[in-house]
A and B are shown apart, each in its own frame.
Chain A
Amino acid sequence: MKCQNCHKSDATVHLTEIKGGSKHEMHLCESCAAAKGLPGKAHFSIQDLLAGIASTQQTGKKGKTKELQCPSCELSISQFQSTGRFGCPDCYTAFSSEILPLIEKIHDSTQHAGKVPGRVSPEVALQKEVRHLQLELKKAIKREDYEKAADIRDRIHRAEQELQARGTPASSDESGPSA
């Protein structure tokens, strides 16, 4: 392949970038890459790494199998592969066997060694509980399990009262004045 820039020398520097979900590929010779201020040696291409997932997924599975999907956000592994972006924090668990080798290739590690977040305040824990209960309530109503729904509604009410006693609204939509 010839260099995209000078069309003379052979392209030895191959760059793939994912930006806003779309791929950009560049094939340049060493000197054109240098002229563009790019390092002579291309760093790892995440696209190559993502492509590697497909083979690990297809081998070892017999015939037609259902594609791996995150139970929380319903992102499929092939959707992840095409964008390089996860759909929610739970994707890390759902796809763990497929993505841990990828993470190891990127970072040369699969164990966090940095900061750990401090504990959240009781208000935040309560807000989280309210959000969770609201989802449960929707499910109960859908199943027409009204006894359960009434019970959940009571629990939401209690959590909201406690939040109010602590001076925090249940849904955090107290948007501040805007600029």
Chain B
Amino acid sequence: MLFEELLKQTGEWLSGTGPDAEIVICCRLRLARNVQGFRFISRMDAEEREACEKQIRAVILKASVVASDRYVPLHETKALDRKLLVERHLISKEHEESKHPRGVAIDAGEQISIMVNEEDHMRLQVFQSGLQLREALARANGIDDKLASGLDFAFSPQLGYLTACPTNVGTGLRASVMLHLPALVLTRHIEKVFQAVSKLNLAVRGLHGEGTEASGHFYQISNQVTLGRSDLEILANIEQVVPTIIDYERKARAELLKRDRLRIEDRVWRAYGMLRTARIISSEESLMLLSALRMGVHLGLLPDVELSTINHLFLNTQPGHLQRLAAHEMEALERDARRAEYIRQKLNGKHS
């Protein structure tokens, strides 16, 4: 069963093996497409939604983009399983919550997800660890071309790919890079980053995309403009700014160590201590503590902890994952206790 399989693995893009992995978590590339002959989702009746979902599903499976058992019809899927997909960034929150016929195709390494009947008829996403936008684009284009021979995409020579929202029209491309910037936050230089980024017409968002706060010092940087530039020009704009931010973050970390080593060590070790001993821990608190731990590992302050363990904890201590692992729904307090227990077991080994 797909969901059991997912629970056993950490998506390839979370492997922490990409270039600059201590700062760049991963990058994501999304292409929005609609099929000519169907209205957009918000305007469809039940019959049309079903027909649209069936047609796109058939083309995805015929093109062998994913194995046939890796297409999930979300309207026939339990809420807890759908939450699991949101927490793994494979579907959006809106896609999880809506009611009509819809689905998602997921490849074995969780690097490809194709949402069907989301805001647009089809949203293809490709994930890569580290800053590898061009690799992600090449991959997305390959899949897009395969699907285009079976689906007549709504396209105008002037405005490009036509999308439900005018903010996506043109390339339908949204590229984003997820960064971990704790030292820039601690040294209060993060504002400068925002300013530099907004001058380039790029957006900064929190961990879970639109409208979310930057919890755990994770930030997503993505393009806003989708029309009038080629796909590569859009990527180049992001590629131009990200290395500078990486450099700033590295310098800020070095500066912190030089100037405030004791305080940083204290912060990291306190986080480690809390995570290894706490009995109740909220998801927000665990995110902050794991963020400190992650920085500690990269500064060489915590030689015993593996990055893969931290990534694993980030993923599996989310509410949906905890409940799915326990195979039942839990109230907040029970969840927080279960989370604390899970983290203790992972960090302390058998004797917790």
A residues in contact (CB < 8 Å) with B = 17, 19-21, 24, 34, 36-41, 43, 46, 72-73, 75, 83-89, 92-93, 99, 102-103, 106-121, 123-125, 128, 131-132, 171-179
Contact = CB atoms under 8 A, between A and B. Distances in A.
Nearest to A177: B68
Contact of A124 (B145, B149, B166): B149
B352 interface: no
B327 interface: no
Contacts of A73: 39-40, 43
Contacts of A115: 141, 144, 160, 171, 230-231
Contact of A85 (B70, B165, B219, B227): B165
Given A46-B167, A88-B39, A118-B148, A37 B213 contact: yes
B262 interface: no
Interface stretch (B51-59, B279-287, B308-316): B51-59
Given A117-B155, A179-B70, 11 more contacts: A36-B214, A85-B40, A87-B43, A106-B166, A107-B227, A108-B201, A111-B228, A112-B158, A172-B55, A175-B58, A179-B69
B226 interface: yes
Please list the 7 inter-chain residue pairs (A to B) with the smallest Cβ-Cβ separation, ordered nearest first: A109-B228, A37-B214, A112-B160, A89-B154, A87-B43, A114-B171, A39-B194
A120 B148 contact: yes
Q: Which of A17, A86, A119 has the most CB of B within 10 A?
A: A86
Interface residues of B, number: 80
A28 to B, nearest CB: 12
30 contacts: A36-B214, A37-B214, A39-B195, A39-B197, A39-B204, A41-B194, A46-B167, A85-B119, A89-B156, A92-B156, A99-B166, A106-B166, A109-B227, A110-B228, A112-B158, A113-B228, A115-B230, A118-B145, A120-B148, A120-B152, A121-B150, A123-B150, A124-B150, A172-B54, A174-B58, A176-B57, A176-B58, A176-B71, A178-B71, A179-B71
Nearest to B226: A107
Given A17-B210, A103-B159, A118 B149 contact: yes
B2 interface: yes
Nearest to B35: A89
A161 to B, nearest CB: 20
B72 to A, nearest CB: 5
A132 B194 CA distance: 50
B228 A85 contact: no
A170 B116 CA distance: 21
A99 B233 CA distance: 24
Contacts of A89: 34, 36, 40, 154, 156, 162
A13 B327 CA distance: 43
Nearest to B53: A175
A113 B8 CA distance: 42
A114 B160 contact: yes
Contacts of B69: 177, 179
Nearest to A72: B39
Q: Which of A19, A20, A107, A112 has the most CB of B within 10 A?
A: A112
